[in-house]
Amino acid sequence: MFSIENPIIIAGPCSAESEVQVLETALEIAKCNKVTIFRAGIWKPRTKPGTFEGVGEIALPWLKKVKEHTNLKIAVEVALPEHVEICLKNRDIIDIVWLGARTTVNPFSVQAIADVIKGSDIPVMIKNPLNPDIELWAGAIERIKKVGITKIAVIHRGFYPFEETHLRNIPKWELAIELKTRYPEIPIINDPSHISGKKEFIPEISQKALNLNFNGLMIETHINPKVALSDAEQQLTPKELIQLLKNLKFRKQTSDNSEFLSLIEQYREQIDSIDYQLLELLSKRMNIIENIGKYKLTNNVTVFQLRRWIKIVETRKEFGKSIGLDTNFVKKILQLVHRESIRKQTKIMNGKDVPKNIDT
C-alpha cells in the first residue's frame, strides 16, 4: 500500500460533492497510470461554521462506483471516532483513512481515533498539525503505532502562517526532513495543494518535494475547479494533473553508476572534514565567550551588548555576501551562535546552569 521505494501519487477532489463530480473526476484521473489512490473528503472539518462540511455517508455509494470503474484505492479523511467506525464497516469501499491537520493538533482526538482503529488493518496517513510542532506530529504517529497499525504514512501539508505569505501554508521543509530522520521507515507524502493555496505554485512545490526525496504527492484534483465547494483555487483539473506529472522529474534515491558513487563519496568526505573543522572552531569560539563572560561578571557588565551585536551582524553579512553566501543564511547562523553565547554567559553570571531552550 505504502512504499518508500516507488512514488505514491494520490489525487482527487478536496470534497466529494456529487456522484457525477466524483465519478467523472476519478475516471479522468485513472487515465494516468502514475496515480494509484483516489482521495475525496466526505467529512470536511472547517474553521468556521456555515461553510461546506461534506456530504458524509451519502458519498459512499459514489466512491464504490469509483472502485468498480477504476483500479484506484480510496482514501478519506476521518476526524471523529464515528467516522472511523463507518469506514471500518465499509472496508470494501474505503482502503485508507487519513487524519487531517486539525485532528493531529489534538492528542485527545488522535487517541480517540486510535482506540477505534485498534485491531484493524486499515492503513492510516497522518497530516502534520496546523502549527509547526514536530512533537505533536510524532505523538500522533506513536499513538497510531501503539494500537498495532503497521501501514502508516505521513503527509506534509505545511504549517499555518501567522503572517501573510504568497503561499497558503509555510512548508518548513526542515521539520518534514527531521520527521523523516526520526521515522525513516515511514513514507512521507507532500501535499503541494495545501501548501500552495493557488494552483500556479503547485509545480514548484511538487518538484522541490521530489528533489528532497519525498515518497509521493497528494494533489487535489477536480473535474471543474471553478465550481468546487471548497478550496477551488488550489485544485487542478485532471488534464492539468496529468500534464504536471509528465513534467515533474522523478529522481532516484541513488545511482548504480560507479563513477557517480566514487565522486560523491569524495565530496562527502570533504564535507565531513569541513564539518568537524566548523565544530572545532565553534568550540574555540565558545571558550572565548566564556572568558569574556567571566570578565563581564568581574566588572559588572551586562551580557548583551547591542552595539557589538549590530556590528557583528553587519560585518559578517557583508563578508558572507562577498564570498557567495546568502545574507539571510549568514544571519540565521549568527543568531544561533549568539543565542548559545548568551546562554553560556548568563550561566556564568548566575553561577548556575541555564536551560538551552531559554528565550534570549
User: What pLDDT is stored for residue 353 in this prediction?
Assistant: 53
**Cα–Cα–Cα angle for 262, 263, 267, rounded to 5 degrees:** 120
User: What pLDDT is stored for residue 359 in this prediction?
Assistant: 45
In tens, the pLDDT along 99-150 reads 999 999 999 999 999 999 999 999 999 999 999 999 999 999 999 999 999 9
Q: How far apart are CA 287 and CA 20, in angstroms?
A: 69
User: What pLDDT is stored for residue 39 in this prediction?
Assistant: 98
What cell numbers appear for 121 in the block?
488493518
DSSP designation for 31 = T
Domains, the chain, ordered by start: 8-247 (3.20.20.70), 258-350 (1.20.59.10)
What cell numbers appear for 328 in the block?
539571510
Per-residue model confidence as pLDDT tens for the chain (360 residues):
777 678 999 999 999 999 999 999 999 999 999 999 999 999 987 777 878 888 999 999 999 999 999 999 999 999 999 999 999 999 999 999 999 999 999 999 999 999 999 999 999 999 999 999 999 999 999 999 999 999 999 999 999 988 788 999 999 999 999 999 999 999 999 999 999 999 999 999 999 999 999 999 999 999 999 999 999 999 999 999 999 999 999 988 788 888 888 999 999 999 999 999 999 999 999 999 999 999 999 999 999 999 999 999 999 999 999 999 999 999 999 999 999 999 999 999 998 654 555 444
Strands 73-78 and 35-39, bridge-based pairing = parallel
- In this structure, is the dihedral angle defined by the CA atoms of residues 57, 60, 62 and 66, taken in order, positive or negative? positive
What residues contact 104, with CB distance under 8 A and at least 6 apart?
Answer: 110, 126, 127, 128, 129, 136, 137, 140
